[in-house]
Amino acid sequence: MITRQAPATTEGRTIYKRPALLTNTTSYCPGCGHGIVHRLLAEVLEELGVGGRTLLVGSVGCSVFAYDYLRLDAIESPHGRAAAVATGVKRYRPDRVVFTYQGDGDLAAIGTAEIVHAAARGERFTTIFVNNGIYGMTGGQMAPTTLPGQKTTSSPNGRDVSSMGYPLPVTEMLSLLPGVQYAARMSVGDPGLVGKAKQAIKRAFEVQLEGKGFSIVEVLSTCPVGWGMTPTEAMDRLRDTVMAAYPVGTFVDRPRGIAPRLPQPGAPTKSITEGF
Amino acid sequence: MTVLARPAGADRPAGAGRPLLVASPPGTGGEASPTPDRVLMKGNEAIAEAAIAAGCDAYFGYPITPQAELLEWMARRMPEEGRVFVQAESELGAINMALGASAAGARVLVSSSSPGISLMAEAMSYMAGSRLPCVLVNIMRGGPGLGSIGAAQGDYFQATKGHGHGDYRVPVVAPSSIAEAIELVGTAFELAERYRTPVMLLADGILGQAMEPVKPAFPTLAPQSPDWRIEGAEGREPRSIRSLHLRAEDLEAHNLDLQATYARITAAEQRWAGEQLDDAEVVLVAYGTAARVARTAVMRAREQGLRAGLFRPITLWPFPADGLREAVKRARAVLVVEMSSGQMVEDVRLTLDGSVPVLLHARMGGSIPTPDEVVAAARRAWSVTESDEQPGLAPAPAGDER
Statement: residue A193 has pLDDT above 80? yes
Greater model confidence, B18 or A55: A55
User: Which positions in chain B touch A77 (Cβ < 8 Å)?
Assistant: 96, 99-100, 126
- CA–CA separation, B222 and B124 (whole Å): 25
Asked if residue A52 belongs to a domain, the reply is yes
Residue numbers of the domain that contains A89: 34-274
* Numbered residues of chain A with Cβ closer than 8 Å to any chain B Cβ: 51-58, 64, 67-68, 71-78, 81, 84-93, 96-97, 113-114, 116-117, 121
Mean pLDDT of B339-346: 98
Whether B152 and B217 have beta carbons less than 8 Å apart is answered as: no
Asked if residue A29 belongs to a domain, the reply is no
User: What is the reported pLDDT for B304?
Assistant: 96
Q: Across the interface, which of B99, B106, B240 has its CB nearest the CB of A74?
A: B240
By CB atoms closer than 10 A (0-12, 13-18, 19+), residue A270 is: exposed
B88 touches chain A (CB under 8 A): yes
pLDDT in tens, B354-398: 999 999 999 999 999 999 999 999 999 999 865 544 444 555 555
In the CATH hierarchy, which fold is given to the domain comprising B30-214?
Answer: Rossmann fold (3.40.50)
Task: Return the bridge partners of B203, or none.
Answer: B139
> In this structure, what CATH number is given to the domain that contains residue A78?
3.40.50.970
pLDDT in tens, B284-312: 999 999 999 999 999 999 999 999 999 99
What phi and psi, each to the nearest 5 degrees, are found at residue B219?
A: -65, 140
Asked if residue A212 belongs to a domain, the reply is yes
Whether B176 and B312 have beta carbons less than 8 Å apart is answered as: yes
Nearest C-alpha neighbor of B334 from the set B293, B380, B386, B289: B380
For an interface test with A, give the residue of B74, B134, B237, B242 to mutate (most A CBs within 10 A). B242
Asked if residue A60 belongs to a domain, the reply is yes
Angle at the Cα of B255 (from B253 to B257), degrees rounded to 5? 70
Greater model confidence, B34 or A168: A168
User: Which positions in chain A touch B94 (Cβ < 8 Å)?
Assistant: 84
Asked if residue A147 belongs to a domain, the reply is yes
Asked if residue A113 belongs to a domain, the reply is yes
Can you say how many angstroms the Cα of residue A57 is from the centroid of all Cα atoms in its chain?
13
User: What is the reported pLDDT for A14?
Assistant: 86
B164 touches chain A (CB under 8 A): no
Domain count, chain A: 1
- Domain(s) of CATH 3.40.50.970: residues in chain B: 30-214
Asked if residue A9 belongs to a domain, the reply is no
B145 touches chain A (CB under 8 A): no
Statement: residue A143 has pLDDT above 50? yes
Statement: residue A58 has pLDDT above 70? yes
Instruction: Read off the pLDDT band of B56 (50, 70, 90).
Output: very high
- The pTM score is 0.90
- CA–CA separation, B259 and B338 (whole Å): 29
- Report the range of poorest mean pLDDT among A216-225, A259-268, B364-373: A259-268
- Domain(s) of CATH 3.40.50.920: residues in chain B: 274-384
User: Which positions in chain A touch B123 (Cβ < 8 Å)?
Assistant: 78, 81
B398 touches chain A (CB under 8 A): no
Q: Across the interface, which of A71, A81, A89 has its CB nearest the CB of B103?
A: A89
pLDDT in tens, B92-147: 999 999 999 999 999 999 999 999 999 999 999 999 999 999 999 999 999 999 99
Neighbours of A156 (CB within 10 A): 8
CATH level 2 (architecture), domain B274-384: 3-Layer(aba) Sandwich (3.40)
pLDDT in tens, A3-40: 566 556 667 888 888 999 999 889 999 999 999 999 99
pLDDT in tens, B41-55: 999 999 999 999 999
Distance from CA of B122 to the nearest CA of A (A): 8
